Every structure is written in structure tokens, then in C-alpha cells.
Structure 1
Amino acid sequence: MTDIRSVLKQYWGYDAFRPFQEDAIQAVLNGMDTLVLLPTGGGKSICFQVPVMASKGVCIVVTPLIALMKDQVEQLKRRHIPAAAIHSGMSKTEIDITLDNCIHGNTKFLYVSPERLRTDIMIARTKQMKVCLLAIDEAHCISAWGYDFRPSYLLIADFRKLLPKVPVMALTATATEEVRADILDKLEMRNARVFKQSFARANLSYSAFAEESKERKLLQVLRNVSGTAIVYVRTRKRTKDLADWLSRQGISATSYHAGLLFKDRSDRQTAWIQNRVRTVVATNAFGMGIDKPDVRAVVHFDLPDNLEAYYQEAGRAGRDEKKAYAVALFNKIDLEELVDSVERRYPPIEMLRRVYQALANYYKVAVGAGELSGFDFDIQEFTGIFGLPVNETHYALKLLEEEGFVQLSENFSDASKIHFLVDNRQLYDFQIRYQELDSFIKLILRMYGGELFTEYVRISETELAQVHFATVPEVLRKLKFLAERDIIDYEPRKDKPQLTFLTPRYDSSLLPLNVFEIQKKKDRDLQKAQAVIRYASHTKRCRTLLLLEYFHEFDAEECGVCDICIQNRKNEARDAAEDATLAGMITDFLTREGPMLPAELGRAFENLPGDELFNTLQTLIREETIRYNEQGMLTATNKTQL
């Protein structure tokens, strides 16, 4: 077994682990089930990636979002770590080759969505793999108490029976006490080690401001806090409107949401990461998997639906452990909208059945067919054809997803890919027969390497055209020609939202919706919305403590840097100054007027509240600045006040 510190240095360039990382890694290497609860930016990935690189075998990583798994795979490949992913955008041939490489190749990490765990091919190939770890990312998704419950996560317990001696590591950044218990139970983790780092972030200052003009306050925050920023809003339209407005105010800004073309999303994200754009105004589609440590401010222009999401999004600020700010802006209408939005997210059950039937008709999927079939999805076209309201349809799709019938990947994108279907000898014979393609084939091999024979490799038709001194249409014709003759398998770029049927298609009238659980989830969502309202509108208690107590962490101290702590300090300083002034007035009065009974002194200061005078007198007596004489009168001691 390789030393884990040398692994950390070799692949990640770090000399030491963060708190809890090394203990969690050792627990896994000792074969123990492990639950890791680390704040956003706390280094969860290293907890399962390092022990795998120190062991023999492949790690199966279950994660819910295609964008997240693709980002993780690319990050690992940049570190020269072989990794792959299986998701709904892939062909059967590509899935087959990817799984074969996990058995016979050198793949160390295989990322899959939970729905894939029940497929025959995944079950059969897993039995042939040497699996050293099963890692469950975003583990809160397994709990109905969580903020992003996915029924498909419940499949994991059965899947792990294929790997009886393989440890499981579950990881999440946001989990209440109920969710933690649910994770351990639903994953059947026995005698699991639990590693929980405090959710407190000493460098992060939380604030919430009730503002009639949120734009003015946003501008003030961005002008007062230098460095890059994220501004979260609810709607796609608002991302553009607000970004344009900020630009007109002299703040470099761009917009981001899942509806943009892949190239636009990629370009805008890259510009922000490279600090060519200071501020990104985005929906919650932005930020997952992005490792930018120097974000100085995260501003919620619109409040999120729950504190779990708020904590995770706000936690994208200050990952470099330098001072950063998480600011929430709201007004009375926003608080009312939070509750109303929960109501809208739960359309009538009949609407769910109607949308499901429309999907079956749209894609011509027969009853009993279509399991794990993926399709391009355009909600505007879909709702237009079937006369469905767009917003209600959107929420119906979300509920169908939560119930485990479909999966909608709104920000899906996948580059073009090719894979050689012939060996070197057969390819050479083809090049002899088609000499006009010889230079083109050699160029592909030179640009993308020998991996083309063992796996699907991402390509860029534009780059090929530039190097080949040809037009893109000419390159496309040549790729198509090679594919038609079974020399390559060519999969053109996909850049549309993808909808996948997760189960064989039901008759919509018999769709087994759990109406009782849907109502329970609605009630929980209403409770979570009320928790956000309480957090935002609170004016007395430290905001860090409010968040920590929500996550059942009750032994922390006030942060001292949130808006409430700062205001309380100012109030205390003002009160102390006022107390000192009053104390001086009383002492001067007794010195000048001589001893007097407390009642006489009270009449002299009758404009003061009685408890304020009493408390000040108590302090002065305790400090021996005044005292009672033998006649029971108060008199100044003439002790010098410091």
C-alpha cells in the first residue's frame, strides 16, 4: 500500500491534509464504512480519491449530476489519474467499452448516476471488477429529509450487496441530524466511522439585509468588497438583466444559467475563473464542482428555498480561508414569495400524469419500453405541441424526477467523441485502400493518441479542420465516411437538455405516484422555507450560530464577524459609553450636592428609566466610586475614575 502523504503530494501537490481528511482516509483503508461531513470547500473529494490512489482496484463513485461527474472526471484526468463516467448521453457501445476498461484497463475512478446501478450490464461488469471503494457523493440525496432527495439513491443498498467486503464512504456538505441518521440507515452502514467538521467558517462573514432597493445595496457590497463575486438569482431572465445593469454601473459582470449553449456557459465560466470578468450573476445551476478559492463575495439577490442550499452556495466564498462575505438581500415580498414558490412547486397530481403521458406520446415510447432511454428535450416545443403551461410543466417534471420516473439534465453538454472500431492492422489496410484519407487518419492519431483504440476520446471538429487546413463541413464528411465504413464510431456533440426515462414506461393512469410522500415533502419544504425566513429576518442572534443550530451544532461560539455580531458590538460600545456618561453625571452631582437619600437622587434623575439608574448605582457602589454613609445616604468617595 502506498503512503497516503506521498500520494497527496504526487497528485495534488499538498504537503499536509486538512483536519479530518487523514483520519477518514485511514478508516477507509482499514476497511471501515465512513460518513464524511465537511463544509463546502472542505476537501471531501480528497477523502475518497487519495485512498483509492494508494490501493489497487477501481472506485465506483455515485453522484447525481452529469455536469458534476464530468467535471470531476476532467479534474482527475488533468492530474494524470485515469477516470471515466457513465451517463445518459452515452451510446451502448461507449458504455460497454468504458466498463471493459474498468475490468481490464487502468481506470481508477468510475462515476455513475444512481439509476445506472440497477442495469444488467452494470451489475454483470461490477462482478468482474476489482472494486476497492464505493463512494457516495452528495449522500444527503438518499434522505427524504434532505433538500435534494433522489429515490434512485435507495438503489445503492442493494447494489453494495455485490461488493460485500468493499467499504463505503458517504460524503456530504449539508446534513441535519435526521439526514445523517437516514444516510447511515439507508446505506446499511454498520459500525460506521463518522467524521464531522464544524460547519463554522471563521473567515466567512454572513449578513442579511432587508432592503427596498436591493440593486443599490448590491452595488454597495460589490464596491466595498474587492475581488470576484457570485450573485445568485432565481430566474434566467434576471441573470441577464442584473448583469447588464451591473455592467452599466461599472462592475464587470456576466450572466449564467442552464439554458445557455454549452460554448456560452463554458466561455463565461472560464472568463470568471481567470478573473477576466469580476462578477457572475447566475441561477443555482452555477458553482457545483467549480474550485475557485479566491471568491470574496457571494450575494443572494434572491433567497434560496432552504438553508442547506444557502449554506452550500454561500460557502463558495473564501475557500482560500481569507476574509470573505456571504450576503443575503430581501424585502417583504421576497419572504412571501418563498412560501408561494413552495405551493407552485407542487402542481396537482393529475398534472403529473398529464405531463408523463405527453412525454410518452412526444417520444413515442410504448408501455413497458424505454427504460434508460435518453432524448433531446426542448420544453418550449414540448409544451407548445401539447398545450401545457410552461412553469407548471417544469415543476411537474421536477416531481416526476424526484419520484424516480424521469431525469432531466438541463445543462447537459457533451463534446464530439470517436473510437476506432478496428485494430492497427485493419486500419493500415484501410489507409492503403483509401489513400486520400491517409493524412486525415494520421492527423487524428497524432492529435488524440493510441487511446482511440481502447476508449471514446473527445475531439474538436474545429481544431481538426484548422490543423488539416480544411473546412469544418469537410472534416464532418470525412468523419461520417469513416463511421459509415465501421472504421470509427463517431458521436457528434450534444448540447441540448436531455430527458431520460428511468423506468419502463407506465400507463399514465397507473403511474405509481406516492401521493402521501409528495404531501409530506411539500410540508417539509414549507418548514424549510420558514427556516430561511427566520434566518433572514432575525436581528438579535449571531448568524453563524443560527446556521449551525439548524445543522444541530450547538456548542459553537458567536462568530464576531456577521452583521448581527458587529451591530451587537456597536450597541454594547454605545451602551458602555452612555453608562460611563451617566456614571459621571451621578458622581459629579453627589460631589456637588453632597450626600442624599436614594429617593432624592431618583427625583433628581427622574427622566431616566428606573432600572437604568439602579444598575448604574450598583456599578458605582461595586467600583467604590460612591458609597452609603452611616446615615444611609449615598455619597461620592472622590475615588479617581479611570
Structure 2
Amino acid sequence: MTALETLRKYWQHDAFREIQDEIITSVLDGKDTFALLPTGGGKSICFQVPGMMKDGICVVVSPLIALMKDQVNNLQKRDIKAIALTGGLSQDDISDLLDNCRFGNYKFLYVSPERLQSEWIVDRIKALPVNLIAIDEAHCVSQWGHDFRPAYLKISELKPHFPKIPFLALTASATDRVQTDVITQLKLDSPNVFRKSFVRENLGYMTYSTEDKLYRASQILKKYPQPSIVYVRNRKSCVEVSEQLKTLGFTATFYHGGLHPKDKEKNMNTWMNDSAQVMVATNAFGMGIDKPDVKTVIHIQLPENLENYYQEAGRAGRNGEKAFAVLLTAPSDTAMAESQFLSVLPDKEFLTKVYVKLCNYFQIAYGEGIESEFAFNLNHFCAQYQFPVIKVFNALLFLDRQGVLTLSQEFSEKITAQFIIESKEVIRYMSLNPQDEDILLAILRGYPGIYDVPASLNISVIAKKSGRHESEVYALLLKLKERQVIDYQARNNDATLVFNEVREDERTINRVSKYLEAQNRSKHEQLEAVIAYVSDNSRCKSVQLMAYFGEKTDDCGICSYCISKQKKASEDISVSEKIKMLLSSEDLNSRELENLTREPSNDVIFALQEMLESGYITIRPNNKYTLSKK
């Protein structure tokens, strides 16, 4: 069966997208291959088709647990046997799955790079009939990439054991520097390199400075009523902007990482089925999203880096029709972005403190803790140690990417409470315990139905309204439960934390601190590139963006710069035409031309200079202009 026949049989497509077939041919020829396919380029087909055509099993290394699950589910729906070694699996579970891979005729094994940190898993993989090793999100191999994960460096250790098996490195965003580093770090053997152009000819990149971003966004959404995405900075903005757009008459929904899976699916389907025009989302939205008719993608805050911006903007216009990626800016954005992205970066000292406190929090002794798994509430942990939440989250995310621990990222509040005594008894309790009154009043005012049904409490809001610390709110809820004043359910399973190494405190942090310094340095450089992009209004936006990715291109003709240039040229022509008409009757000086054309002085002077240089007019000794040919 040929590659095209395989594509038709399992994926029901009649043709490959640009360069997919060339990549597949390279892999089938047994060649190491590096493929740069921008967002929407169809990376998975490049390893799934040859994986199905060759005897044995394709090992796919991917950092995204949700994406692994999604791809495994999609393969299983096509009656293709696939397995993913995701988090939360015991050693026995993993061993059984790997046995299935060896003896059960499975075609795909998805594994995170952190799993390759375990020698016994690597040994088991070496015993499999591997036909291809595909490395997705390969830019993570490079410390110069925007998402460096040292665990990826372990992949190269598989190379000597599979000398005749092709390695396929895939990424949607890599500069020339990152590409070279990926090839070196993975030890690819004279790889065939395929790069699909980053140029999206149908996508107009727009940057507009405005004080009222919501109003400008609403103007754009009214002009283009097709499906749209509005990217915002955080979960709170998701809900707020979505509600604001609804009050302006738009149909809108929202999506962020803290939503319950059922709500994610419901909101996603609402937008995918065109029941809502606008999806307001954080950067948690987008993975695996393929809605071809998105007309506009609007960012109302600066993105963290141009790699992410390109991928998010690229979700517009996948049907090939003209579409727009709009970035709205305001004078305060640079300071806000630096506060959001740079001030919350953990340094070595902070990282060490968080790691030690985390071990103490779960009572892990020095030299112990490997493979330990815990339910984890980020807000509760931060409240107990009075840590800033976002900075701690970044520290945990960094430790996750280094393989020190594995963190699932569902951080929605799951705390419910209901008063089980009468209201007059609650008032009596407050009079006897005045130190608790401010917190209780904040709860009663914020949740008036809390006597009748359990209410989902937002601890941070209660703390803010009562002027108390979150840890004090938690402590009071526990006390009220013990005294049978309330029925209190604290489901501390917002997230799951798995410790992948024994606790060694500073020794652990010292080992990864050089990567932390490189990451922080890289994030500073990336934000500087974003600021330069929005600040430079003297060049085509597409030219600027492509230059960042090492690609040269001509002016696009449809970005904010190109349109403003065309508009100016159009206006210049109209001024010139007016001048020609006036000078065809009589000679006039510049002041007279300004009065008669009713055009701005600068525009008239510019047009006169152009006409003089072209020889269409001349200036007489009396300072009046005349047509050269009448």
C-alpha cells in the first residue's frame, strides 16, 4: 500500500498538504529528517502514515499530555492500536502497557520526554520492534527554543540502539539557531531538512495602538461577523471580556485551563458549531483546534513571544480565504508585559525555597520521595507559605519541564460549604467570636444562598473582601466544620504532583539552575522581540515576523503597514489630481492650492514635490506653479 493509499484508507484525505509527502518519503527511505511545519501544517500525518506502512511500532516523544491523549483517541477511532504512557500510572501499569506494545501488535507508543529519564523504561523501549522515532515539538531540545526541556536531551541516547531506524524531528516554530541546535542535540545523521514557508499570503497581520481595546475589538468583530478568537492574558479576563462582548450584542463564550473538562467541551462545541461568534481564551486554547473558517484572531495584550503569537495568529484563515491577526496595543502594555512575564520569573534562590517548602508540605524526607504522588492545591500551598501564586506556578512549571516532578495543571477552586445551623445561630456565633466576624460577613454577603444549598467558595475573593489572609479563611472553615457550623468540602485534587526524583534540596536545584538562568535570559530576549515588532511601524508586519524566523519575503500588501502605505499613496494621488485640475486653468502658489484643494498643508507640499520631481509641473519666478504641458 502506498503512502497516499494509506492516507485515504485511514484518514479519508485524497491528497497530502505541502511537503508532507516529501517528509514521508524521506522517512520511508530510512533517512533522519528534520521538518519545520508551521501551525496547521499537519505534523502528525508525517509520522502516522509511515508508522502504519512499516512493520513494528512508532515511538512518538511528545511533551503535551493532553495532545498525546487526543492523538491516541483519534487513532483508536480509526481502529489503529495506540498507547500513551501518561502521568499517574504506576510502574506495574507502565510495565503492562509496554508488554502490550511488544506482544499486542500496537502501532504507536506515545511517551513524554520525562519518561525517558527512567532507565528501565528506556531498556524496555529498546526491546520493542521500533520502526520510527518521532520527536514532536522538537524545539524543546534546544536551550535557544522558547520551551526548552532538558529531558529531551535524553532522546539522543536511543540513537546507538536504533542505528538503522530513522529519527523524525518535528516542530512548528524554530529559528535557524534552534534548527541547528536540534539537529546537533538529537545527533541526527545527515538529515534531510524540510521547511515549509512561514508566509501566510492570506493572513494580514495588524497592529493598532488604542486606548479602548474593547471598543476597537468590537468594531473589528462587527465588520467581520465570522468566527473569531480573542486571546487574553488570564482566566479572569476570559470571563470578563466574554461578558462585556455579550453586553455589546455579540455571541461569545470562553475557554481557559481551569475550566472543568465538561465546561471546556461545552464551550468549545458552542464555538465550533457557530452558536457563538467569539471564543475568548487564554493561551491554553488552541492545541489541536482546526476550525478552518476563523476570520479574525485578536490579541488584546502582548504575547510572551513571537513563536506563540505566530501559532495563535495562525489559527485564522486556514480555509485559504483572507483573514486577519490583530494585535491591539496601548502605551502601558510594555510595562504590564514586563510585570506579567519577567517579574514573575523565579530565580535560583526562590526556586530552592519553593522546592524545599513543597517537600516539607508533603512531609518528604531528604533522600526519599521518588515516584510519590499527591493531590495538590496551588492556592492553598501559596497561602500557607505566603508565596505569590504566579511565581510559584512558574517555578513548578520549570521543575516539571526539568523532570524533577510532574504536574497536572487543573487549578480550579473546588471548595464548597453550606451552613447547617440557623441564621440566628450564626449571628450568635459571630457575637461570641468577633475575630471571625469579618470573614463570615464576607461569606454571607457573597453567597446569600449558602443556608439552602452548598456554595462553591472563591477563597481569594473572600480573603480580599474581609481584609484577611487566605490561610486565615482556610483555618476558619476547618474550625467551623469541626464545630458543626458548616458542612465543608475541600477537594484538594485541583492538581496532581508526582515527584520523579529523591529529595536532595540544593543539589537538585544546582543541577538544573543553569537551565533556569538560560530560560530567564531567553524570555527577556523574546519579549524584547515582541516589543520591537509592535513598535516598528516603518516596515511590513509580515516581513518583520518572517525575518524573526529567518525567512525573507516581500511586502504582503495586506498588513496594517501595507494598507496605511496604500492609503497614503491613494490620498497623494487624489491631491495630485486636484492640483492638476486647478493648474490646468491658471498658475497658483502653494497657499492658494491649499485653500482651493482644502487638503492639509503637508499633503499639498508632498504632492507638489512629487510632481516637480516627475517634471509634470514647474515653478515660475513669481513662486507660482504651472503645468509643464498644457
Confirm or deny a common fold (TM above 0.5).
Answer: yes
Q: TM-score, normalised by structure 2?
A: 0.80
Distance in structure 2 (CA, Å) of the matches to 1:220 and 1:341: 27
Q: What secondary structure does 2:510 align onto?
A: coil
Structure 1 residue 570 and structure 2 residue 567: aligned? yes
Distance 1:637 1:223 in 2: 48
Structure 2: how far apart are the matches of 1:219 and 1:25? Answer: 44
User: Which of 208-217 and 573-582 deviates more?
Assistant: 573-582
Contact 2:156–2:187, Cα closer than 8 Å, also in 1 = yes
Q: What is the Cα deviation at residue 280 of structure 1?
A: 1.9
Cα pair 2:584 2:627 within 8 Å, conserved: yes
Distance 1:295 1:372 in 2: 43
CA distance in 1 between partners of 2:550 and 2:373 (Å): 40
**Counterpart of 1:443?**
none
- Secondary structure at 1:360 match in 2: helix
Query: Do the aligned residues in 2 keep the contact of 1:88 with 1:374 (CA within 8 Å)?
Result: no
What are the ranges of 5 or more consecutive residues in structure 2 without an aligned counterpart? 413-490, 595-600
Q: Tell whether the 8 Å contact from 1:251 to 1:279 is kept in structure 2 after alignment.
A: yes
Q: Match of 1:160? A: 159
8 Å CA contact 2:345–2:520 kept in 1: the answer is yes
Distance in 2, matches of 1:365 and 1:134, equals 36
CA–CA distance in 1 between the matches of 2:611 and 2:316?
A: 44
- Larger displacement relative to structure 2 (98-107 or 395-404): 395-404
Question: How much has 1:610 moved relative to structure 2?
Answer: 7.5
Taking only the aligned residue pairs, the percentage that are identical comes to 41
Q: Show the 5 A alignment for 1:22-171.
A: 22-171=21-170
Distance 1:216 1:67, change over 3 A: same
- Tell me how far apart the structure 2 counterparts of residues 323 and 82 of structure 1 sit (CA, whole Å): 39
Change (3 A) 1:509 1:126: closer
Q: Contact 2:250–2:278 (CA<8 Å) still a contact in 1?
A: yes
1:432 aligned residue: none
The answer to whether the aligner puts 1:288 opposite 2:287 as a matched pair is yes
* Native 8 Å contact 1:37 1:195 kept in 2: yes
Hey, what's the Cα distance between the residues in 2 that align with 1:80 and 1:619? 70
Aligned to 2:311: 312
In structure 2, C-alpha distance between the alignment counterparts of 1:348 and 1:16, rounded to whole Å: 49
Amino acid in structure 2 at the alignment position of 1:315: G
**Aligned 8 A contact 1:103 1:125 in 2:** no
Contact 1:67 1:412 in 2 (8 A): no
For 1:582, the equivalent position in structure 2 comes to: 579
Deviation at 1:255? 2.0
CA distance in 2, matches of 1:495, 1:207: 42
CA distance in 1, matches of 2:500, 2:273: 38
Question: What does 1:24-423 align with in structure 2 at a 5 Å threshold?
Answer: 24-411=23-410
Single out whichever of 136-145 and 250-259 deviates more from structure 2.
250-259
Paired position in structure 2 for 1:549: 547
Cα offset, 1:402, TM superposition: 4.2
Provide, for residues 242-264 of structure 1, a one-character-per-residue CA deviation record: whole Å limited to 9, x for no partner. 11222222222222211222222
**Superposed displacement of residue 397, structure 1:** 1.7
Q: Within 1, Cα distance between the matches of 2:507 and 2:331?
A: 41
1:558 equivalent to 2:550? Answer no
Give, in whole Å, the separation in 2 of the partners of 1:195 and 1:176.
Answer: 13
**Structure 1 contact 406–502 (Cα < 8 Å) conserved:** yes
Q: CA separation in 1, counterparts of 2:493 and 2:77?
A: 23
1:617 aligns with 2:612: yes
**2:351/2:395 contact within 8 Å kept:** yes
Contact 1:133 1:169 in 2 (8 A): yes
**SS of corresponding position for 1:149:** coil
Q: Deviations over 1:590-626 (max 9, x none)?
A: 6xx9xxxxxxx899989888875454134245xxx88
Shift of the 66–389 alpha-carbon distance from structure 1 to 2, 3 Å rule, reads: same
Instruction: Give the aligned length.
Output: 542
Is the alpha carbon distance of 1:496 and 1:82 closer, same or farther for their aligned partners in structure 2, counting shifts above 3 Å?
Answer: farther
8 Å contact from structure 2 (residues 233, 282) kept in 1: yes
Report the CA distance between 1:270 and its aligned residue.
2.7
Counterpart in the other structure of 1:511: 509
Residue 129 of structure 1: how far off its partner (Å): 1.1
C-alpha separation between the residues in 1 aligned to 2:67 and 2:388? Answer: 30
- Alpha-carbon separation, structure 2, partners of 1:75 and 1:495: 28
Which one is further off, 48-57 or 506-515? 506-515
Contact 1:412 1:498 in 2 (8 A): no
1:65 Cα deviation from its structure 2 partner: 1.3
Distance 1:586 1:254, change over 3 A: same
- Alpha-carbon distance change, 52 to 498 in structure 1, aligned in 2, over 3 angstroms: same
**How far apart, in 1, do the equivalents of 2:166 and 2:335 lie?**
46
Q: Deviations over 1:497-521 (max 9, x none)?
A: 2223233321346632554543343
For the residues of structure 1 that align with 2:125 and 2:241, how far apart are their CA atoms? 48
Q: Does 1:500 align with 2:498?
A: yes
Partner of 1:434: none
Counterparts of 2:219 and 2:590 in 1: how far apart (Å)?
47
Corresponding residue SS for 1:319: coil
SS at match of 2:614: helix
1:534 paired with 2:532, answer: yes
Q: Deviations over 1:500-554 (max 9, x none)?
A: 3233321346632554543343232122112111212332321111110010101
- Please identify, of 151-160 and 374-383, the stretch whose mean Cα deviation from structure 2 is larger: 374-383
For 2:49 and 2:615, the matched residues in 1 are separated by 63
Aligned to 1:475: none
The DSSP-based 3-state class of the residue aligned with 1:295 is coil
Partner SS state of residue 370, structure 1: coil
- Mapped to 2, the partners of 1:303 and 1:30 lie a distance apart of 44
Say if 2:32 and 2:190, in contact at 8 Å, map to a contact too.
Answer: yes
- Relative to structure 1, the CA distance from residue 124 to residue 523 in structure 2 (aligned partners, 3 Å threshold; closer, same or farther) is closer
TM-score (normalised: structure 1): 0.79
Q: Aligned partners of 1:378, 1:186: CA distance in 2, in Å?
A: 36
* Structure 1 pair 96–515 and aligned structure 2 pair: CA distance change class (3 A): closer
8 A Cα contact 1:582 1:616, kept in partner? no
Q: Please give the alpha-carbon distance, in whole angstroms, between the structure 1 residues aligned to 2:628 and 2:317.
A: 54
Q: Mind listing any 5+ residue stretches in structure 1 that lack a counterpart?
A: 414-492, 594-600
Matched-pair contact (CA < 8 Å) for 2:540–2:555: yes
Q: Is the 1:239–1:282 Cα contact (8 Å) retained in structure 2?
A: yes
Contact 1:587 1:626 in 2 (8 A): no
Change (3 A) 1:365 1:204: same
Q: CA shift at 1:409, angstroms?
A: 2.4
Deviation at 1:627, TM superposition (A): 12
Is the 1:242–1:281 Cα contact (8 Å) retained in structure 2?
Answer: yes
Distance 1:86 1:572, change over 3 A: same
SS in 1 for 2:365: coil
CA offsets per residue over residues 125-146 of structure 1, 9 Å max, x none?
A: 2122111111111111111111
> Does the CA contact (< 8 Å) of 1:82 and 1:108 recur in 2?
yes
d(CA) in 2 for partners of 1:301, 1:542: 21
C-alpha distance in 1 between matches for 2:60 and 2:265: 25
Q: 1:32 to 1:559 in 2, by over 3 A?
A: same
In 2, Cα distance between equivalents of 1:506 and 1:25: 45
Distance 1:613 1:160 in 2: 69
In 1, the alpha carbon distance for the partners of 2:533 and 2:263 equals 35
Contact kept, 8 Å, 1:403 with 1:513, in 2: the verdict is no
Query: CA contact under 8 A between 1:60 and 1:135: conserved in structure 2?
Result: yes
Distance in 1, Cα, partners of 2:255 & 2:608: 58
Kindly provide the CA deviation profile for residues 166-215 of structure 1, in whole angstroms up to 9, marking residues without a partner as x: 11111111111111111111111121111101101112121111111111
CA distance in 2, matches of 1:275, 1:603: 56
Instruction: Mark the CA change 1:506 to 1:37 in structure 2 (over 3 Å): closer, same or farther.
Output: same
**Aligned residue identity for 1:524:** S
Q: Give yes or no for the alignment of 1:522 onto 2:491.
A: no
* TM-aligned CA distance change 1:276 to 1:28, over 3 Å: same
Q: Distance in 2 between matches of 1:544 and 1:614?
A: 30
